[in-house]
Amino acid sequence: MSVNAVSLEEVTKSFGAVRAVDGLSLDIPQGQTLALLGPNGAGKSTTIGMLLGLTVPDAGRVRVFGGAPSVAVRAGRMGAMPQEGGLISRVTVRELVAFVAGAYAAPLPVADVLATARLTDLAGRRVDKLSGGQAQRVRFALALAGDPDLIVLDEPTAALDVEARREFWDGMRRYAARGKTILFSTHYLEEADEHADRIVVIDRGRVVADGTSREIKRVAALTTVSLSVDGETSWLGRLPGVTMVEIRGRRAHLRTTDSDATVMALAEARAVRDLEVSPADLEDAFVALTGRGAASPSPTTAARGAEEESAA
């Protein structure tokens, strides 16, 4: 039986009086793409830091391919792409990738790295002349240079526009198709929904949900009932099954654990107007599990905001 790519056993880490990770256990089989979700302060970055060997846990055990993280790093079996990080300037993209690849015993050919990261056309450009999105793709290329079996990505598309984000995930799919293991954290829930085989939601340093996107939604057991409203709306929160009420203009959106009971109560109150019933999406499930919304807008919303700002 193959060893898990990642194994965290009852891992705990505190910073002063703050317990960032609280007895977290997690196994990631080889070849799986896993999205790590959680609101700000949930413990995602601390967990990733311990996985990479950058942070020492106070208790528990971290294993990567059956050994210490440092062993996997030295052997070139684990690559990482931080959310931010400086790049050497005054060299070309190809020179930088070749330099990093040269530090590994069995690196990917530089041409393959550049192609996977969609950098072939930029190979001759100096690193300090790149845009923010292009620099992020270079960080991805550096993480791939050693041909690792596991790649860890911390908010990998945070600086990318819609087209660059699409190209990034195209590259990740090609990488995953080779049987590689991917762990990525993100605030963009649409990315987790679309690209992850498995989603783990953590909050306050603990795992609160673990499964496929469909399973996570089912665990949350939420449906949205929306209707047109006029006048006072506080009574909507007292309807059976309703856990949250959001008013947008003249429309109320009710998150409910029992849509049948909610709709029947609305009918009895003669308040059924332009009624719609929708199953939970991943963001609904995220809010239900953590009590907090995603810290960033979805890629579509972010792009729309950027376009509006540019137009202004």
The confidence score (pLDDT) of residue 152 equals 96
- Matching residue, tokens 């376009």: 307
The whole-number pLDDT of residue 308 equals 35
pLDDT of residue 213: 85
Question: What pLDDT, on the 0 to 100 scale, is given for residue 285?
Answer: 78
| Per-residue model confidence (pLDDT) at position 83 | 72
Cα 218 from Cα 230, distance rounded (Å): 32
* pLDDT at position 292: 61
pLDDT at 168: 84
Residue ranges of alpha helices (H) inside the chain are: 44-51, 69-74, 93-101, 110-116, 132-144, 162-176, 189-195, 213-220, 259-268, 282-290, 299-311
Ranges of residues in the chain whose predicted pLDDT is under 70: 1, 159, 219-221, 292-312
Q: What percentage of the chain's residues is helix, strand, coil (to nearest 5)?
A: 35, 25, 35
* pTM attached to this predicted model: 0.74
pLDDT of 309: 34
Q: Is the dihedral of CA 193, 198, 201, 202 positive or negative?
A: negative
User: Would you state the structure tokens that stand for residue 154, as one six-digit string?
Assistant: 């911390």
For residue 233, the model assigns a pLDDT of: 92
Query: Residue 306's CB: how many other CB atoms inside 10 A?
Result: 12
How many H-runs (helices) and E-runs (strands) does the chain carry? 11, 13
List the domains of the chain with CATH numbers.
6-217 (3.40.50.300), 223-279 (3.30.70)
pLDDT of residue 219: 67
What pLDDT shows up at residue 220?
A: 67
